[in-house]
Amino acid sequence: MSIRIDKEKCNGCGLCADICPGNLIKMVGEGKNRKAEMAYPDECWGCMSCVKICPKHAIEFYLGDDIGGQGTSLIAEANHREIDWTACRKGCILEKIITSRQEANKY
Ligand code: SF4
Ligand code: SF4
């Protein structure tokens, strides 16, 4: 269980590195070549903060075979009202889920 960063999509903004509570993401390179890199994949506990904050949708949360995820990945497209989650496996969309930011965390 960890994240994967698509360096082609990454614009080097650094938001993911700033928000990761474990400081697991490092920024490497300078200028246009500045990119996010997952430095400690074994340490990721899947809080999804980086996935949700990335403005370029460059980060996917990867559910590996080791936890029964069969390579499924989750990507998120967030705006101020909701987050659209998409679960994919081998390039195919398995499920789409929309969560409301206003209604989330209400018990
Ligand atoms: S938040 Fe997204 S675009 Fe910004 S540095 Fe991280 S991966 Fe790149
Ligand atoms: S999912 Fe959470 S712990 Fe894992 S890299 Fe992203 S922000 Fe860090």
Residue nearest ligand 1's atom 8 by CA: 10
Cβ of 75: how many Cβ atoms within 10 Å? 18
66 contacts: CB under 8 Å, gap ≥ 6:
1
pLDDT of residue 51: 95
pLDDT of residue 67: 67
pTM of the shown model: 0.88
Measured from CB, residues less than 6 Å from any atom of ligand 2 are 3, 19-20, 22, 24-25, 44-50
pLDDT band of residue 105 (cuts 50, 70, 90) is confident
Handedness of CA 8, 10, 12, 17 (dihedral sign): negative
pLDDT of residue 101: 86
Give residue-wise pLDDT tens across range 46-89: 999 999 999 999 999 998 776 677 889 999 998 889 999 999 98
* Cα(70)–Cα(44) distance, integer angstroms: 18
Residue nearest ligand 1's atom 2 by CA: 54
Residue 3 Cβ inside 6 Å of ligand 1? The answer reads: no
Instruction: Name the E strands within the chain.
Output: 2-5, 25-28, 35-38, 59-63, 72-78, 82-89, 92-100
Give residue-wise pLDDT tens across range 10-33: 999 999 999 999 999 999 999 999
Residues 75/63, Cβ–Cβ less than 8 Å: no
Domains of the chain listed by start with CATH number: 2-100 (3.30.70.20)
C-alpha 87 to ligand 1 mean position (Å): 20
